[in-house]
Chain A
């Protein structure tokens, strides 16, 4: 997990909090002592809750958890014990992962839906943080309170079952256009890191819900960037990484066509969408004492899609024409990611056949352009836009595209039956297209001042492509950006 950062460690800076795996925020020691005095009786709370059945117990439990986790206006932050109690209540009454004796149990499918509905309603309907008589001045604002509760419900250590509940919740929120839930989810994604396992799981679940199982996703998701831009941007980043993982052999596995279509439309129609996570200031939205995590933009990942797509399409077409039965088993399409191992291979294949063998889907060209325009938009913002943001894309992230290209080239040469080995005409074209796109992406990212890190490293990486059939654009880009040699 190259790009993963120790998100959780950074999240909270208090030693005290770090010791407690459930605690997501910090507070002074003095207040901790104070809270010990006023400690509530955990038993009485639980017993009260046990009197009602699911789902009403879940609703009451949510209120209780909110009381425990969210500091009231001017009030104290929760103590360790309160947090523990909150965690126990969540496990037993909300997600129903354990019974009163601590044995594992599971909600039925219908109950899971009920829970998702209940959470959606709760987040959308409750006015957080308005309880204190002194108003919200000293305490957290509504958004902050909501995010605090959300982060408490789905901590980084969330179990697989609860992660499934999260997928259901967000999926429902998307279809019901529940902005509060989506906003909190966006923040949750960024705080956990878009490449973290949990977030990837969520994205995977959503992709399944919306792009694999449901047709006409495009029309249903058209408005998502306008409704919840931050969530959409982080979802984009996650999905981009999901299909462009450097850990796998080809460095890219094509996403479902519907997903590609939606993403292309999102990026084309919303030139600032990819930059949203960089622009939003999370600090006031987070629980007290938390540090906003660095945002990850989808640029590098999506560029990787666009650059590698022609290569894979070509190699796949060769495979398809050469040996159809082996087409799906060569590890390109269903290798994806660890989490993607189960099934999915069939889906991928059928999707590929739809596109027509050997032809790169035209959407990649459009997506590529949309990405370039988004970068340019950052340099010349249209009217009344905030100033341009820097650190859009890291040098390493872009340079990561180079290696899979090398790998592909070497592999094609190995597979070549002619002597000396060389590429077929189709392969040439595919490589040229890939290198042209790479060159365009690098050029515009550099020109738009969107790249951070050691640029020389990037150029050196690009320089290694010299051994491949020459791309004139790459040469031009290198010439333009290489610092004049001292020797």
Chain B
């Protein structure tokens, strides 16, 4: 009878052979690791197909923190026992560790072990895990880890992952392009496919789809203010180039160059000129050109749009004012302008509104002084926004020059969801080109669904939109010489001014002397600026009306007086505090005064309500008191006390008391000369709308002031 071994416990006799060997290994582990390994090695060769034995071998080396050995064992396990749950738990722990930066010993060990696995095993591991993953996002993330670690696998798994991500996004019904699947697809997979050492094979249809999804994603990043995607354009161009290469585009090389608008433009232009005619919209060449042009246009457009928003106040492109021929010679040195530029409108900006820095101090001082402070910078900023606009225009012109290209680009832009930008750009472009009828039609179309009554209930945002539309319409009607309509819209704008941010300063650029026939202006959307624009527009409308009156016929004297009076009121804003009058303001004042002088009398019943400017008052005083043929003024509405006698403050007649009344009235006005003009003007344009309107509507002849 054999003697029992001393160290073998009675328990171990009950164990199976496999468990016995594992037990021996475990027992030996703390005492003699070599012996433990020898036991494990023996067990492994005895039971190569026994999971418990192999897994225990793994656990032993794992608890010994032996990365290399553990990797070896794990690889065997992975190779042989893929279906086992216990192994699967370990695999999940491993993939979890791979995705985290957790510094705990266990994940750290697992990551190190993963790094020690053979590349085949690593790839197999991730692949299997991804395949088993039920959650699509999880699956995609795991595959992404796989692909980022094994660039050579991109060609194999990339296309399938594209499909998965696209359909996952589709079935998740996300709002907008900025969602997790799209982000993974665009920000991670596309660059990986671009960098793949083996060319990734995708059908062109899919590639175009991928490209559209990518552009759409980055555009949405550009559009949303809270997007934290850095350098979206760089990434967009990089992705564009990658996909372009997959599509065999020769133009994709262009997009690998650092961004330079002129540089890109030249190459695009060159390509455009060398397109094979007639254009086949489905051809490789034309599709390529459409995409390259569209993306270039998008960038120009985005730059223009963002430069409109860059300042303290958003800018809006409006028809502005040109000095009459005789005035032209005064300012604007002719050398600056080339001949034949008359058809191209002059574009001006109030540059200081584009400067964010030091706006508190700059806003209080006038435009001119501001311009003196840093003229160079302002010019650069203002040229920037104008250049952005003309670059976008130029590109759009190229797109428009060929029907197939135009259709392709429009369709593409529609897909990409840039309607908002495009609509705004179209309006600006129509104005610039003088396609104003079209613009008006568009604007009126937008107006229709809204009902006037609803405006009051709507939000400030909606108010803002309405205000901008009215402003655009005012400027458009003015361009079309539909003065009553223009003035009507301007008056509506003034009534809505409260929804605009206060601030801004008077612009010296609204009226420009230029060899061009037209002048358009980028106006900041602030209360002061918009008020100035409206006032100037109405003033110009009245002036044109005034000028258009044939001498000695048509308008009545009362009408003309009314017109002149209104102009005097409006002119006050631009005359300012007389130190820095806006260009042309003094000239106009001179014209109006000389007109009054040429008349025997001047009647403007609301004079005392609205005219407080010292210069005007002085001129009037002078006219009323001059020795030879003084003008008889009727400048005040009948006061309540005088109502019965119908006496008015005037210099008419020889009434001594009346003269005194006039003088004291003028003194009172003078005392008000420091009164803020903006509220006064708003009051005038709100309360005395009829005074202004009726002048321009010839059919209505009731000029009596409202009492």
- B partners with A: yes
A interface vs B, CB < 8 Å?
Answer: 362, 365-366, 368-369, 372-373, 376, 422-423, 425, 428-429, 432, 436-437, 439-440, 443-444, 447-448, 466-473, 476-477, 480
Closest to B28 in A: A365
- CA A477 to CA B42, docked complex, whole Å: 10
A487 to chain B, nearest CB (A): 24
Given contacts A429-B7, A432-B6, A432-B7, contact A473 B34 (CB under 8 A): no
Cβ B6 vs Cβ A476 within 8 A? no
Cβ B35 vs Cβ A369 within 8 A? yes
Contacting residues, chain A, for B8 (C-beta < 8 A) = 432, 472
- CA A202 to CA B179, docked complex, whole Å: 78
B76 to chain A, nearest CB (A): 9
Q: Is B46 an interface residue (CB 8 A)?
A: yes
Q: Is B45 an interface residue (CB 8 A)?
A: yes
B75 to chain A, nearest CB (A): 11
Q: Is B325 an interface residue (CB 8 A)?
A: no
- CA A23 to CA B686, docked complex, whole Å: 132
Contacting residues, chain A, for B42 (C-beta < 8 A) = 372, 439-440, 443-444, 473
Per-residue A-contact encoding for B238-264, CB less than 8 Å = 1, 0 else: 000000000000000000000000000
Query: Per a CB cutoff under 8 Å, which of B3, B6, B20, B35 touches A472?
Result: B20
- CA A432 to CA B28, docked complex, whole Å: 13
Contacting residues, chain B, for A428 (C-beta < 8 A) = 3, 5-7
Contacting residues, chain B, for A437 (C-beta < 8 A) = 38
- CA A471 to CA B12, docked complex, whole Å: 13
Q: Can you list 26 A-B pairs with a CB-CB distance of less than 8 A?
A: A362-B32, A365-B32, A366-B34, A368-B38, A369-B41, A372-B41, A376-B41, A423-B3, A428-B3, A428-B5, A429-B6, A432-B8, A436-B24, A437-B38, A440-B38, A440-B39, A440-B42, A443-B45, A443-B46, A447-B45, A469-B4, A470-B4, A471-B5, A472-B17, A476-B17, A476-B21
Q: Is B37 an interface residue (CB 8 A)?
A: yes
Query: Per a CB cutoff under 8 Å, which of A440, A443, A470 touches B2?
Result: A470
Cβ A369 vs Cβ B38 within 8 A? yes
- CA A432 to CA B8, docked complex, whole Å: 10
Closest to B48 in A: A447
Contacting residues, chain A, for B32 (C-beta < 8 A) = 362, 365
B481 to chain A, nearest CB (A): 87
- CA A444 to CA B2, docked complex, whole Å: 26
Closest to A424 in B: B6
- CA A443 to CA B45, docked complex, whole Å: 8
Contacting residues, chain B, for A477 (C-beta < 8 A) = 46
Cβ B34 vs Cβ A368 within 8 A? yes
- CA A339 to CA B699, docked complex, whole Å: 142
Contacting residues, chain A, for B6 (C-beta < 8 A) = 425, 428-429, 432
A318 to chain B, nearest CB (A): 16
- CA A250 to CA B39, docked complex, whole Å: 26
Cβ A365 vs Cβ B38 within 8 A? yes
Given contacts A362-B32, A443-B45, A472-B8, contact A372 B38 (CB under 8 A): yes
Closest 4 pairs between A and B when the two form their complex, measured CB to CB: A447-B45, A369-B34, A365-B34, A428-B6
Contacting residues, chain A, for B5 (C-beta < 8 A) = 428, 432, 469-472
A202 to chain B, nearest CB (A): 31
- CA A439 to CA B45, docked complex, whole Å: 12
A372 to chain B, nearest CB (A): 5
- CA A8 to CA B513, docked complex, whole Å: 119
- CA A470 to CA B24, docked complex, whole Å: 15
Name 5 extra pairs, CB < 8 A, besides A366-B34, A432-B7, A437-B38: A429-B7, A432-B6, A444-B42, A473-B21, A476-B46
- CA A373 to CA B41, docked complex, whole Å: 8
Contacting residues, chain B, for A468 (C-beta < 8 A) = 2
B5 to chain A, nearest CB (A): 5
- CA A440 to CA B44, docked complex, whole Å: 11
Contacting residues, chain A, for B20 (C-beta < 8 A) = 472, 476
Contacting residues, chain B, for A439 (C-beta < 8 A) = 42
B72 to chain A, nearest CB (A): 10
Cβ B41 vs Cβ A444 within 8 A? yes
Most chain A CB neighbours (cut-off 10 Å) among B6, B21, B42: B42
Closest to B13 in A: A472
Given contacts A428-B5, A469-B5, A472-B8, contact A440 B21 (CB under 8 A): no
A475 to chain B, nearest CB (A): 9
Contacting residues, chain B, for A469 (C-beta < 8 A) = 2-5
Closest to A426 in B: B6
Contacting residues, chain A, for B3 (C-beta < 8 A) = 422-423, 428, 469
B399 to chain A, nearest CB (A): 58
Cβ A444 vs Cβ B45 within 8 A? yes
Contacting residues, chain B, for A372 (C-beta < 8 A) = 38, 41-42
- CA A366 to CA B38, docked complex, whole Å: 9
Contacting residues, chain B, for A476 (C-beta < 8 A) = 17, 20-21, 46
Contacting residues, chain B, for A466 (C-beta < 8 A) = 2
A426 to chain B, nearest CB (A): 9
- CA A365 to CA B41, docked complex, whole Å: 13
Cβ A376 vs Cβ B45 within 8 A? yes
- CA A476 to CA B18, docked complex, whole Å: 10
Contacting residues, chain B, for A425 (C-beta < 8 A) = 6
Contacting residues, chain B, for A448 (C-beta < 8 A) = 45
A440 to chain B, nearest CB (A): 5
- CA A172 to CA B646, docked complex, whole Å: 142
- CA A444 to CA B4, docked complex, whole Å: 25
B20 to chain A, nearest CB (A): 6
Most chain B CB neighbours (cut-off 10 Å) among A362, A440, A466: A440
Contacting residues, chain B, for A366 (C-beta < 8 A) = 34
B584 to chain A, nearest CB (A): 88
- CA A423 to CA B42, docked complex, whole Å: 27
A393 to chain B, nearest CB (A): 15
Contacting residues, chain A, for B46 (C-beta < 8 A) = 443, 447, 476-477, 480
Closest to A481 in B: B46
Closest to B5 in A: A432
Closest to B39 in A: A440
- CA A443 to CA B21, docked complex, whole Å: 13
Contacting residues, chain B, for A436 (C-beta < 8 A) = 24
- CA A365 to CA B8, docked complex, whole Å: 19
A445 to chain B, nearest CB (A): 10
- CA A428 to CA B21, docked complex, whole Å: 19
Cβ B37 vs Cβ A369 within 8 A? yes
Contacting residues, chain B, for A373 (C-beta < 8 A) = 41
- CA A480 to CA B46, docked complex, whole Å: 8
- CA A472 to CA B10, docked complex, whole Å: 13
Per-residue A-contact encoding for B5-33, CB less than 8 Å = 1, 0 else: 11110000000010011001000000010
- CA A448 to CA B44, docked complex, whole Å: 11
Contacting residues, chain A, for B38 (C-beta < 8 A) = 365, 368-369, 372, 437, 440
- CA A362 to CA B45, docked complex, whole Å: 24
- CA A373 to CA B45, docked complex, whole Å: 11
Contacting residues, chain A, for B35 (C-beta < 8 A) = 365, 368-369
- CA A476 to CA B39, docked complex, whole Å: 13
- CA A480 to CA B35, docked complex, whole Å: 22
B570 to chain A, nearest CB (A): 91
Closest to A365 in B: B34
- CA A476 to CA B20, docked complex, whole Å: 10
- CA A110 to CA B3, docked complex, whole Å: 62
- CA A480 to CA B42, docked complex, whole Å: 12
B688 to chain A, nearest CB (A): 96
- CA A263 to CA B35, docked complex, whole Å: 18
B121 to chain A, nearest CB (A): 13
- CA A393 to CA B633, docked complex, whole Å: 134
- CA A400 to CA B203, docked complex, whole Å: 70
A360 to chain B, nearest CB (A): 10
A334 to chain B, nearest CB (A): 29
A247 to chain B, nearest CB (A): 29
